[in-house]
Amino acid sequence: MSEREQHRLAKRTTVAEIDHHLDIGPNIVRADEDLLSVARRAIAQPHTRLLAVVDTDQRIVGVIPVLRVVEEIVAHVSPESLMAEVKDLASAGRFGREVGARVAGDLMSAPVTLRPDSTVGNAFRAMHEHRYSGLPVVDDERHVIGYIDLLELALRYLEDFPELARSVTDPPIPDQPVD
């Protein structure tokens, strides 16, 4: 696959075209939902690794990586295990706020979202920039209508470019010794 073909795929393919390639749907929690309930939702839907936090009107107001929920639970049970991450005043303040978290809104970060007309390239860039492995898809009113995962993006490339799929799945041929 040429670089030009990859670029065309990234520019022309929309998120709406690849949503639901894998059966990974959004995991939506309310900002006022307690962390135990949030953890149960994450466990019930383990393939969605970024939770969408919504307000009372069901509009997205933030996101929470599932890892943050797990860290919060660990912080309540064994805070010393996370103390190694405290290296300066800013990280100490963040640690203090996180240990005191009680509801999803306490843990959430600013929302990072995609729209159905966002391109595959936009999705890759947003996930890479924010270090998320998936992102919620929202409509014009900011209601969560889907979820795109990095694996869905990779699957699209592998489907469109069989030679790329072969290079990923076929083992390399070892060099032959020269006589």
pLDDT in tens, 36-61: 999 999 999 998 999 999 999 999 99
Q: What is the pLDDT of residues 75-105, one digit of tens each?
A: 767 666 656 666 777 766 666 666 667 899 9
- The DSSP letter of residue 143 is B
Domains defined for the chain, CATH in brackets = 3-167 (3.10.580.10)
pTM: 0.75
Predicted pLDDT at 16? 85
Region for residue 158 given its phi and psi (left: phi exceeds 0; alpha: psi -120 to 50; beta: otherwise): alpha
Whole-angstrom distance, CA of residue 126 vs CA of residue 122: 6
Are the beta carbons of 111 and 60 closer than 8 angstroms?
A: yes
Q: Residue 31 has what pLDDT?
A: 97
Q: How far apart are CA 97 and CA 89, in angstroms?
A: 12
Q: Which residues of 154-167 are buried (b: 16+ CB within 10 A; e: fewer)?
A: eebbeebbeebeee
**Backbone dihedral region for residue 147 (phi beyond 0: left; psi -120 to 50: alpha; all else: beta):** beta
How much is the mean pLDDT over the chain? Answer: 81
